[in-house]
Structure 1
């Protein structure tokens, strides 16, 4: 909880959260904003949206073939680490549309021309291509845009009415940071284990989509920055800069209670999640198809589900079998914080 920024001192700015975490899964647009918001000192949807609109945070496919938030200026080195793996995945997906990477390369100049100086939804890209006499279906345009994300050409733009848009990376982030491959591997590893540790090698491989060899070498390259522990007969790793290791932090764990959104890093960023949820309860939190639910975090454990009702300020909570419901004051505090986030 401390490493993940959920308990203890919180961050001042949304982009600081994302940089600390390395990357945050963000396929659900609304839920991902709350994942960032709950980790800042003064949760504010306006602040998170501004960070996205200005490109300080980007939303794109990186590492695993799903949406993530990443720090805007890190796009070059982060996509550089992901390009090979993502292109391989997207080539496989493209076969369902009888497409190849060569088809994307042929259409790439037209897509770049359409996006030049503009932030467009996938439907708007489709419409502008049609206006130029290029007849494509929307699923194929989305596939081409995914290829563009994978090779670093395309990134997220400013949302339009809550819808994701695309922009050219060279226009959106002209001052992107460049790192060598080795430097990029080391930095991604450092960020993961400082914000997600203690975690295992297998957890890191799952989260980063690196090969196990790359992950091992990256961990080894950090030398004494990495600390190894044993827990439940597993080798756990944590970075030396992780909170709690660099200074005394006082946490009242009994009063830690939080509404976590679907796909929050607290659960999804580990291959083995049984340190924070009982195996018999996992069916209430996620399924075998990669769908994650809104869950309740109480005293470090995932103990229930929550949802916002259609009535303003009204939330439903339910606790898993065998889990004692939290104190009413903790639930009310979590509701208040969530409501304030969406209103500010």
Structure 2
């Protein structure tokens, strides 16, 4: 007899988002660590996204509290990991992320940089190791240092390489940024406090200890289970895309996790046993999420929460989402910060967005404006709607 797989509808998936991702007012957290735990990893390519993603999910948003977690207690760790993307993850999850994704990324980064350095500068692996030791010694003496200060202390970091030679956009950057980036990817150093405001993309470097080693298969199964806890039910393609694994590795990891097969409206999927029951009725909620927020970036297949006709307004040409307005588990519009600090919104659909939801959206816009205070940002990835609203 053929076993009937449990059915989970798009409506049920949407009903889970508000509580599970701490977006419904009653579900909001009291600390940044709880936010990272709920969404598994905070997208950190754009520095402001980390702060805004956390602020959207806290009862009382606080820059100081997030900075404590990042730069004092180190309960949140910034890592180059899934899809060669920068994320902030809970400290206890960092070894799992390192073993399952980040270690392979770091190895590629090292190989690529070593090849460029050897071909263009004639420096070998011995030079690479000596320069790393010099950087660590400089940091040990200072405690923290900017990239410029480290290149003064270690002059070899000022060596230049050629990028896109012969092209109109040819560049000759110093190796400083890439070299320090490789050391950070390997867990030898980490980003410290930013220079300037919390939205700054310039920062100090501080020493770090490499993550403890875990068995690869065990780490991948663990990460797959954690992904399902945060984003399930989902498809195999969702897991493959989010992690950056091969299809074979994705299937193996899912098989080693506690995932069970389910039927989604879009086809076969996976869920944890605890998520098979229909979700409780959720309270109405709205949220203004920043560019590259972990919720909209959590799935490869997005039709269940995003109208395909709105994608061109909300995403850039590389698939990065801009600031989005959510209502009860669906993206209904976008928002932007103007030069005077005003937060402006635009609805791309009014379907299911009643008067109460519109008032709540205005309230969230005011809450975000208060969090920004005097800080002004420009997303690293501009989208058509964000550009239009920002003016």
TM tier relative to shorter chain: 0.7 to 0.9
* Residue 265 (structure 1) aligned with residue 294 (structure 2): yes
Tell me what 1:30 maps to.
48
1:4 and 2:12 equivalent? no
Contact 1:259/1:294 (CA < 8 Å) preserved in 2? yes
Shift of 1:260: 0.8
1:84: which partner in 2? 104
Residue 6 of structure 1 aligns to a residue whose secondary structure is coil
Alpha-carbon deviation of 1:153? 1.6
Structure-2-length-normalised TM-score: 0.74
Candidates 307, 311, 335, aligned match of 1:306: 335
Distance in 1, Cα, partners of 2:256 & 2:60: 37
Provide closer, same or farther for how the CA distance between residues 325 and 16 of structure 1 changes in structure 2, counting only shifts above 3 A. Answer: closer
Aligned residue for 1:205, secondary structure, equals helix
The equivalent position to 1:125 in structure 2, one of 147, 150, 154, is 150
Match of 2:4 in 1: none
CA distance in 2, matches of 1:77, 1:104: 27
- Structure showing greater Rg: 2
Cα deviation for residue 281 of structure 1 reads: 0.9
Secondary structure of the residue that 1:156 maps to in structure 2? strand
Aligned residue for 1:289? Answer: 318
Taking a change above 3 Å as real, the CA distance of residues 239 and 121 of structure 1, as seen in their structure-2 partners, is: farther
Give the superposition deviation at 1:38.
1.5
SS in 1 for 2:296: helix
Partner SS state of residue 302, structure 2: coil
**Structure 1: how far apart are the matches of 2:267 and 2:279?**
26
Question: For the residues of structure 2 that align with 1:150 and 1:32, how far apart are their CA atoms?
Answer: 19
Q: Give the deviation of 1:104 after TM superposition.
A: 4.0
TM-score when scaled to structure 1?
0.84
- For 1:109 and 1:140, locate their aligned partners in 2 and report how far apart those are by CA, in whole Å: 16
Corresponding residue for residue 168 of structure 2: none
Matching residue of 2:368: 338
CA separation in 1, counterparts of 2:301 and 2:113? Answer: 27
1:228 matched residue in structure 2: 261
Residue from 158, 181, 186 that aligns with 1:146: 181
Unaligned runs of 5+ in 2: 1-16, 161-172, 374-391
- Structure 1 residues 250, 47: closer, same or farther in 2, change over 3 A? farther
> How far, CA to CA, are the matches of 2:348 and 2:242 in structure 1?
27
Alpha-carbon deviation of 1:106? 4.6
RMSD: 3.0
| CA distance 1:316–1:20, change in 2 (3 Å) | closer
- For residue 273 of structure 1, give the secondary structure of its aligned residue in structure 2: coil
Within 2, Cα distance between the matches of 1:280 and 1:101? 52
Could you list the per-position Cα deviations for residues 217-253 of structure 1 after superposition, in whole angstroms to 9, with x for gaps in the alignment? 222112xx323321134222223455x95x964412x
How many Å separate the matches in 1 of 2:183 and 2:115? 17
Displacement after TM superposition at 1:192 (Å): 0.7
Alignment map for 1:1-344 (pairs within 5 Å): 1=17, 2-7=19-24, 9-54=27-72, 55-81=74-100, 82-88=102-108, 91-92=111-112, 102=125, 104-116=128-140, 118-130=143-155, 135-137=158-160, 139-161=174-196, 162=200, 163-170=202-209, 179-222=214-257, 225-241=258-274, 249-252=280-283, 255-312=284-341, 314-320=342-348, 327=355, 328-342=358-372
Count of aligned pairs between the two proteins: 331
